[in-house]
Amino acid sequence: MNNIKRNAIFFLGYILFLMGLTACSTNSTQSSIDSTPENSRRVILIGIDGLPYGKMKSWIREGSLPSFQKLFARGGSAIIKLNIPVLEASTWGSFSTAHNLSKHGIADWYFLGHDRKLHPVSSSYYKTKTIFEILSAKDRKVAIDGWPLTYPASPSFGYGITSGPIEVTSPVDVIRSVPLANPADPACFLDDKMKDQLAPLVMTIDKISLQNISKIVPEGAELNPIESRDLRRALAADLTSINAAKILMDTNPDLIAIGLPGIDLICHRFFKYLQPAEFGLNESAAQKMQKIIPNYLLMLDEFLSILFQQMDPRDTMVVVTDHNQIASPKLFEKRHEISSLHTPQGMILMYGQNIQPGFSKQTIKPEQVGALILHLFGDPLGKDMNTMVPLDLIAEPYRSKVPVGMVITLEDAPRPEPKPPVEELIDTQAKIESFLGLFESYR
């Protein structure tokens, strides 16, 4: 009987020992899994045209823009070095393709044809694939929400709503960089299935209410006709993207690319009130108008706050802007009340577990933004991209354990060459003359 008891106790002890080994093995395996770097579950890419980050610093210090403050203080950042003269469309093309201008082929919002007329560019003028097409081809869900140069819609980009068609205007009329989507235009929507959901959210200029305006313009401030027109246009473009983002985020995309072009137009019209003496304006009369730019930025800050609340710990937020803004009293005197000028420095702000917190890199190139997005998904770059991932901005252990992959080319199925009518082909000499003339007017 004693032998039976001893055997039973020994057997029970052996079972407990095995259970302990199993538990240790499980914990060890789980620890190994937890320490393995993960690709971003989702990348929220936000493109803000002409963000005046220089002027914003004082408002951030005051605590007026908490979401931007979070990005600056707890995220990674870098200055984006641009070419001179600053060509916005070229920069957005580089963000979107991880190629420079010589490869992606988009120089400006329009080109001067042999007929000496301006013709708008569109998404069909890309000579390379966009990062949206590269990711979509790998069965990743890509949502487009007003991202620049996505009109006309192409299913190869993903799904969502485009930025709308670029309007051909005078070279000095800045509304060309704020295209508006048209709810009745099928080319504004990348997916017929979502068109019925997104079309009612498109804000046209006539839909902008006094309530929308009152959030930006202080009571008692009086806008002239051009200021009123451009404020409504900026709100229509940005509120369309903000409204659509609520629907598109619910689809749980791997990448959502959101375009917010309005603040650039707002700065061009209202920057003069921030430095009234330089523009010969009455300082006391300008006091109320000085609140318009910070109020508009507060609207964008509140949108970022909503996106932060929806972020998973494995998500990454990337905010890019194509240039800064400075006062331009000389240009104001000559060109349709344009009171701010582009500087050749953009900025990237990033936040997420794979981003180096609080690190600021001196400079990167525009095409490195596209390369960074691909790398956050663990995807390789094409050697023909002729760019590098800014690894200084990537946190450990992702930086060490996920090497930058390289393949010969990502252009296995190149986009067809755009074939505009012969009379619309780019006249290079005329284009250069146009740039030089415009650049001279800024001096």
pLDDT reported for residue 33 = 27
Instruction: Quote the CA–CA distance of 178 and 292 in Å, as a whole number.
Output: 18
Which residues in 285-333 belong to E strands, given as ranges? 316-321, 325-327
pLDDT-based confidence at residue 348 (cuts at 50, 70, 90): very high
Does residue 323 contact residue 86 with C-beta atoms inside 8 Å?
yes
Q: How far apart are the first and last CA of the chain?
A: 106
Instruction: Quote the CA–CA distance of 377 and 392 in Å, as a whole number.
Output: 17
pLDDT at 34 over 70: no
In this predicted model, what pLDDT tens digit does every residue of 41-66 receive, in sequence order?
899 999 999 999 999 999 999 999 99
pLDDT reported for residue 26 = 38
Does residue 259 contact residue 242 with C-beta atoms inside 8 Å?
no
Considering only residues 161 and 119, tell me which one the structure prediction assigns the higher pLDDT.
161
Would you give the DSSP letter of residue 274? Answer: T
**How deeply is 80 buried, as exposed, middle or buried, from its count of CB atoms within 10 A (0-12, 13-18, 19+)?**
buried
Considering only residues 216 and 34, tell me which one the structure prediction assigns the higher pLDDT.
216
Q: Which of 190, 195, 184 is nearest to 141 (CA)?
A: 190
Residue tagged 């670029």 (tokens): 166
Residue tagged 């002409």 (tokens): 50
pLDDT reported for residue 174 = 67
Instruction: Quote the CA–CA distance of 439 and 443 in Å, as a whole number.
Output: 7
Q: Which helix (H) or strand (E) holds 120?
A: strand 118-120
pLDDT reported for residue 411 = 57
> What mean pLDDT is predicted for residues 15-24?
43
pLDDT at 292 over 70: yes
Rg (CA), the chain: 26
> What mean pLDDT is predicted for residues 364-378?
96
pLDDT reported for residue 170 = 62
Instruction: Quote the CA–CA distance of 81 and 200 in Å, as a whole number.
Output: 38
Q: Which of 198, 184, 189, 183 is nearest to 244 (CA)?
A: 198
pLDDT-based confidence at residue 251 (cuts at 50, 70, 90): very high
**Helices vs strands, H then E, count in the chain:** 16, 14
Q: Is the dihedral of CA 277, 281, 285, 291 positive or negative?
A: negative
What lies within 8 Å, CB to CB, of 189 at 6+ separation is: 153, 160, 161, 162, 195, 198, 199
pLDDT at 8 over 80: no
pLDDT reported for residue 410 = 64
> What mean pLDDT is predicted for residues 335-358?
88
pLDDT-based confidence at residue 426 (cuts at 50, 70, 90): very low
Does residue 273 contact residue 224 with C-beta atoms inside 8 Å?
no
Which residues in 322-441 belong to E strands, given as ranges? 325-327, 340-342, 345-352, 360-364, 381-382, 406-407
Instruction: Quote the CA–CA distance of 173 and 265 in Å, as a whole number.
Output: 10
Domains assigned to the chain? 42-442 (3.40.720.10)
pLDDT reported for residue 333 = 64
pLDDT reported for residue 330 = 76
Instruction: Quote the CA–CA distance of 296 and 66 in Å, as a whole number.
Output: 14
Residue type, 234: A
Residue type, 239: L
Task: Give Cα 291 to chain centroid, integer Å.
Answer: 25
Instruction: Quote the CA–CA distance of 121 and 168 in Å, as a whole number.
Output: 10
**What burial letters (b/e) apply to 201-216, b meaning 16+ CB within 10 Å?**
bbbeeeebeeebeeeb
Considering only residues 442 and 200, tell me which one the structure prediction assigns the higher pLDDT.
200
Residue tagged 């199925």 (tokens): 413
pLDDT reported for residue 284 = 86
According to the per-residue pLDDT averaged within each range, which of 33-37, 66-70, 412-416 is highest? 66-70
What lies within 8 Å, CB to CB, of 18 at 6+ separation is: none
Residue tagged 């050749």 (tokens): 344
Residue tagged 């995309």 (tokens): 253
pLDDT reported for residue 171 = 57
Q: pLDDT averaged over the chain?
A: 84
pLDDT reported for residue 387 = 93
Residue-by-residue DSSP string for 327-349: E-HHHHHHTTT--EEE-SEEEEE
pLDDT reported for residue 418 = 52
> What mean pLDDT is predicted for residues 163-185?
82
pLDDT reported for residue 235 = 98
Neighbours of 331 (CB within 10 A): 19
